[in-house]
Structure 1
Amino acid sequence: MANTSPASPTVAATGPAPAPTSARPTAPRTLLLAQLSNSVGDGAFYVTSALYFTGVVGLSAAQVGAGLAVAWAVGSPAGVPLGALADRRGPRGVSVLLALVTAAAVASFLLIGSFPAFVAAATLYACAQSGLAAARQALLAGLVAPADRTAVLARLQAVLNGGLAVGAALGGLALHAGTREAYLAVFALDTAGFLCCALLLGRLPASVTTPAPTTATAARGAGGTAVLRDRPYVVLTLLNALMLLRMPVLSLALPLWIVQRTAAPGWTVSALFVLNTAAVTLCQVRAARSVTDLGTAAAAVRGAGAVLCAGCVVFAAAALPGLGTGAAVAVLVLGAVLLVVGEMRHAAGSWQLGLGLAPADRIGQYQGFYGAGVPVARSLGPVVVTTLLIGVGPVGWLLLGGVFVLAAAATGPVSRWAARTRDTAA
C-alpha cells in the first residue's frame, strides 16, 4: 500500500491468491501511470469547475450545489451494480469502458447550457466515477497478490495526491487567466487524462478468471445486491463512513474554525492543506508497510481513531482565550500533523479490511458498496462537522473525537465477526 503467512486472515477470507503470471509484475506500474494520468486532470477540474459552472455556464451557486447533491445521490449506489458488472464481465473491460464514459461526461460539461443538462452530465459523471473506482479495485485484486495490495494502494494514493497537486497548480493558472478558453482547456485536459487512463488500463493483462462462488457467498444469494445481506460487511462499511468524517475537517471545518475562532492568520488554511498533501504524497507508503493482514489492519484503524481524537483535542485548544497568533499557528500545525497521521493509518487499514473481507468472486460489487462511504462523507460530512464544530464549538471537537475513537474501536470486533462468518461458511 510485507508478506503474510499462508494462514493469514486475509488469505483465509478471500481464498488463495492466484500465482503471479509473467505479465503481472508490470501491473502495479501501469496502475500507477493510469492513476497519475487522470489525477492531474482531476486536480485542475476540482479547483475550476465551480467557477466555470457559475461564471461561464451561468448557473447559480445553489443550482450547482443541488445538482451535485442529486448526482452523487444517484452515483454513489451505482457503484454496487457497476462493480457487480465488473465481477461478471471482467474488471479490465469494465474499467476501460467506465474510464471512457467518464471522459465523455467531462467533455459533455463543455456543451451544457442549462440546469437540467448540468444535472444529467453530473449524474453520468458520478455514476461512472463510482463504478470506475469499484472496477479498478477488482482489477487490482485480480493482478496483485493479497499480501501486496495495501502497499500498491498506498503508492496509488501517493501518486493520486501528487497528481492532484500538479493539476491544482494548472487549474490555478486557468483561474488567473479567468477566460472561457482557459476553463475549456482544463476540461479538455481532464477528458484527455481519462482517455489516457482507459488506454493504460486496456494494456493490463486480463485479471484472473473470476472464481466460482464460495460457500459463504452462495449462502448469501446470487445477484448484484448480495453485499446488502452481508451484515458484518455492512456494519464495517458504516464504521468506515464514520471514520471518513475526517475528510471535511481539513477542507471545510478547519478553514471556518481558523477564521472565526482562532487568532491564526488566514494563510494558515493554505499552509495546513499543503502540509497534508505533501505528507500523504511522501509518507503514505511508509505508513502502510506494517499493514499486511486483517489483524494489523484493525490495529491500524484503532490507532488512527486515537490519533484523530488527539488531533480534535488539539484543534479545540487552538481557540483557547489569550492564545497569541504564533501560538495558535503552532497548535494548529500540531493538530494538522496528528490529522494526517491518523488519515494515513486509517487509509491503510481501511484498504486492507475492505479488500480482505470481500469474497474473491464479488470484489467489484463489495468495493462499490464499501467505496460509497467516500461520497457519503463528502455530502453529509459538511453538515455534520459544521454543526458540531462551528455550531457547538470546542465541545463539538471533543464529540467528533469520541466518534472517531468509538468507530475505530468497534472496527476490530466487527472485522473478526466478518472473518468468522466466512470461515464458518467455508
Structure 2
Amino acid sequence: MPIRILPPPGAPRVLAAAQLSNSVGDGAYYVCSALYFVRVVGLSPTQIGLGLTVAWAVGSVAGVPLGALADRRGPRGTAVLLALATSAAVASFLTIRSFSLFLVAACVYAVAQCGLAATRQALLAGLVAPPDRTGVLAHLQSTLNAGLALGAALGGLALSRDTAGAYLAVFAMDAVSFLVCAVVLLRLPTVAPVPDRGSGEPRLAVLRDRPYAVVTLINAVLLLRMPLLSLAMPLWIVERTNAPSWLVSALFVLNTLAVMAFQVRTARAVTGLRTASRAVWHSSVIMFASCLVFALSAAGLPGWAAAAILVVGATLQVVAEMRQSAGSWQISFALAPAHQVGQYQGFFGTGVPVARTLGPLLLTALLVTWGVPGWLLLGAVFLGAGAATGPAVRWAERSRASRAGTERSAHSHTGQDAGAAAVRA
C-alpha cells in the first residue's frame, strides 16, 4: 500500500501546514540554541540548564489553564495568540544578554509552547471527527518530523559558520516561522467555544479526575524515551562503546525518516481504547527489547559491530515510539469529556515538559553512570508502565461512564422537579 504523504484536504491539511511552518524553525532552534546562549548571550551551561528546567516546569503547570481558556474562548483564537506569543519570546532572545531576562523569556516561550500544543489539540478535536483524529495526528507527527529535519539541516549550516550573525539568523527564522503559523491557523474555520454546563462543575475538572491523572503519569514515564536519542545515546556511544561518534547523527536521521514514512501506517491499527492500550503495551515490550540491545553495544565489540547493534536498537526504539504515540493520542482524546478537550489535552501534554525536565537527569544517571544495569532497569520501567496502561485506561473509562450516568440522573431529577413545580403552579 503506498504511503500517503499529505493529510486529507480541508482542516487536516491546514493544520499540517501550520505544523510544518513552525517545526522548520524549531528544528534549527534545537540544533543551535545551546551554542547561541553560550556564545552570543554569554550564559554558562549551568545557567542554561537551570533556566530551561525552570521554564519547562512553569510551562507544564500553565498547559491546563490555557487549555481550559481554549475551551471557553474558542481554540482557534487562543492558538493564534499563543503562536504570536511564542514568536515574540523567540524574537526577544535576539536582544537579551543577561540571565534574568533569559529566564523570563524562556518561561514565556515554554508557557506559550505548552499552551499552543493543548489548544491545537482542542482545535483538531473541534474540526476532525473522532474516528479520524488518530490518523490526522499521525500525519501531523510525520509533518513535524519532516519540518524538524529540514530545520536541523538549516541549523547545521549555521553551526558550520559558527558566527553570531548565523545564530541570530536562525533565531529570527524561528520567530518568523511562528508568525507564519499564526497566519496559517487563521485560515481554519472558527470552532465555537463550549458553554459552561452550569452544574457547579469546577473550572479545572481534570485536576480532580484521578484515573485520567494516573493515565497521564504512566504516559509521562513512557515519554522518557524522548531524551533518550537526543541526550543519553550520544553520551552512551562516546563513553561506553567503540562505535564512531558520527553514528549519533545517523541514528537521529534514521528515527526522523522512519516516523515520516511509517507513523501514518502504524496509526491505522489504532481505532479505539482497546487497540490503543494494546499498542502501548506492545510498544513497551519492544522498548524493553531495544534497551537490551543497546546494553549489548557496551560488550567491548569492534566499532562496526557496536554500530550495527546500535542501529538495531534504534530501529526497535522508533517502532516502539510510533506505536506508543498512536496509542496515547487515541487514549488522551477518548477519555476527555467533549466539552473539556482543551484542559484535558493540556494536562495530558504535561508529560512532554516533565520528560524534558526530569529525563536528562534520570537517563544520565541510569545509563552513563550505571551502564548495562541502568539499561535493564530502564527497560523494566518501560515494561511496567506499558503493563499498567490497560488497567488504568479501563479504570478511567469506568469512571467516565459513572460520571456520565450520575449527570444524566441529576438532569432527569431536575427536569422532573421542574415539571412537578409547573403542575403545582
TM over 0.5: yes
**1:25 & 1:249 partners in 2: Cα distance?**
35
Match of 1:115 in 2: 99
**2:151 & 2:327 partners in 1: Cα distance?**
28
Match of 1:386 in 2: 364
Task: Assess if the C-alpha contact under 8 Å between 1:159 and 1:281 holds in 2.
Answer: yes
Structure 1: gaps of 5 or more residues? 1-23
**1:209 & 1:130 partners in 2: Cα distance?**
20
Residue 180 of structure 2 corresponds to residue 201 of structure 1:
no
CA offsets 1:293-340 (integer angstroms, 9 cap, x no match): 11110000000000000000111111124x222221111111010000
Match of 2:43 in 1: 59
Residue 337 of structure 2 corresponds to residue 353 of structure 1:
no
Mapping for residues 245-324 of structure 1, pairs under 5 Å: 245-321=224-300, 323-324=301-302
Residue 389 of structure 2 corresponds to residue 405 of structure 1:
no
Question: Match of 2:77, as an amino acid?
Answer: G
Task: Assess if the C-alpha contact under 8 Å between 1:211 and 1:360 holds in 2.
Answer: no
Which range is displaced more, 356-365 or 261-270?
261-270
**Higher gyration radius (CA):** 2
Which range is displaced more, 66-75 or 291-300?
66-75
**2:361 & 2:75 partners in 1: Cα distance?**
35
Task: Assess if the C-alpha contact under 8 Å between 2:73 and 2:193 holds in 1.
Answer: no
Match of 1:131 in 2: 115
Q: Are residues 419 and 29 of structure 1, via their aligned partners in 2, closer, same or farther at CA, if it must alter by over 3 Å?
A: same
Secondary structure in structure 1 of the residue aligned to 2:252: helix
Secondary structure in structure 1 of the residue aligned to 2:96: coil
CA offsets 1:211-241 (integer angstroms, 9 cap, x no match): 6649xxx68x321x31111000000000000
**2:166 & 2:368 partners in 1: Cα distance?**
36
Q: How many residues align?
A: 397
Question: Match of 1:337, as an amino acid?
Answer: T
Selected match of 1:369 from 338, 341, 347: 347
**1:195 & 1:327 partners in 2: Cα distance?**
46
Secondary structure in structure 1 of the residue aligned to 2:236: helix
Offset of residue 208 of structure 1 = 4.7
Residue 18 of structure 2 corresponds to residue 34 of structure 1:
yes
Question: Match of 2:284, as an amino acid?
Answer: G
Selected match of 2:313 from 317, 320, 335: 335
Match of 2:213 in 1: 234
Task: Assess if the C-alpha contact under 8 Å between 1:143 and 1:208 holds in 2.
Answer: no
Root-mean-square deviation (CA), in Å? 1.5
Offset of residue 209 of structure 1 = 4.9
Q: Which runs of 4+ in 1 moved over 6 A?
A: none
Mapping for residues 30-109 of structure 1, pairs under 5 Å: 30-109=14-93
Offset of residue 178 of structure 1 = 2.0
Task: Assess if the C-alpha contact under 8 Å between 2:71 and 2:193 holds in 1.
Answer: no
Secondary structure in structure 1 of the residue aligned to 2:270: coil
Mapping for residues 183-202 of structure 1, pairs under 5 Å: 183-202=167-186
Secondary structure in structure 2 of the residue aligned to 1:361: helix
CA offsets 1:373-398 (integer angstroms, 9 cap, x no match): 11111110111111111222211111
**1:185 & 1:98 partners in 2: Cα distance?**
22
Task: Assess if the C-alpha contact under 8 Å between 1:253 and 1:390 holds in 2.
Answer: yes
Task: Assess if the C-alpha contact under 8 Å between 1:82 and 1:368 holds in 2.
Answer: yes
Task: Assess if the C-alpha contact under 8 Å between 1:105 and 1:125 holds in 2.
Answer: yes
CA offsets 1:259-280 (integer angstroms, 9 cap, x no match): 2222211112111111111111
